[in-house]
Amino acid sequence: MNIFRFVGDMSHLASFFLLLAKLIYTKSSTGVSLKTQALYLTVFVCRYLDLLVAFVSWYNELMKIFFIAASAYIVYVVATSTRNSNASDTYRVEFLVIPALVLACFVNETHWSKGGWSLNVMEILWAFSIYLEAVAVLPQLKMLHQLEDTTNITMHYMASLGIYRAFYLLNWVYRLYYEGYWHPIAVVAGIVQTLLYADFFILYYQSVLLRLPS
């Protein structure tokens, strides 16, 4: 594992702790998009089905289990939050889920000549999870644009997700050059996903960094 991948993963991990800290210490899910969190849970469950059939490393296994468990817990907390004033969580997620699923059925890494049907279904779900992750942040972005007083911690959460994506891009450049490793589906979707965060970082710069006490 190279340093870019590791920094990316740690930033991803930090994003979970930031969001959990916000939910637990402020006892409020205001400004957190339940739709985005439910999409992330879907992403992790679909992608990490290989937990059952492929062992890569303890690092990977534990991170996967943590991502699934933490996002399930976050969805539970946000969904059951009584003081949930998320009327602005209005993104039509079917416009994300259905195209991602259709695309995954046609553009994936299945090899029907090899492997059984279950492995190929896993490949379709893997591609679906990649496409869905690329756009899963959109409901959260829409909320950020609509809410005036977004708490800083939600913004830091988004920033750590953006850093995670940026370092994964660097990781892929490194791996393509030194290892010949490359998954075009993941790379193209990853570039799209990272570009979506560019919009967020403009907002972050304007609303958080410019307001920081000196």
Burial of 203 (0-12, 13-18, 19+ CB in 10 A): middle
Question: Comparing C-alpha atoms, which of 20, 19, 75 is closest to residue 43?
Answer: 75
Stretch binding other proteins (CB under 8 A), from 62-70, 94-102, 136-144, 199-207: 62-70
- Closest to other proteins by CB, 49 vs 147, is 49
- Closest to other proteins by CB, 96 vs 130, is 130
The answer to whether residue 182 forms part of the interface with other proteins (CB under 8 A) is yes
Q: Is the CB of residue 74 less than 8 Å from the CB of residue 23?
A: yes
- Give Cα separations from 157 to 1, 20, 123, 126 (angstroms): 24, 10, 30, 25
The 10 Å CB-count burial string (b at 16+, else e) for 152-175 is: ebbbbbbbbbbbbbbbbbebbeeb
Cα torsion angle, 60, 133, 164, 80, sign: negative
Token pair belonging to 21: 């800290």
- Closest to other proteins by CB, 60 vs 151, is 60
The answer to whether residue 63 forms part of the interface with other proteins (CB under 8 A) is yes
The answer to whether residue 169 forms part of the interface with other proteins (CB under 8 A) is no
Q: Binding residue for other proteins (CB under 8 A) from 3, 21, 54, 79? A: 54
- Closest to other proteins by CB, 34 vs 161, is 161
Residue 73 belongs to what H/E stretch?
A: helix 58-80
Q: Binding residue for other proteins (CB under 8 A) from 40, 131, 157, 168? A: 168
Stretch binding other proteins (CB under 8 A), from 15-23, 77-85, 90-98, 176-184: 176-184
Interacting residue ranges for other proteins, rule: CB under 8 A: 5, 9, 12, 50, 54, 56-57, 60, 63-64, 67, 109, 111, 126, 168, 171, 179-183, 186
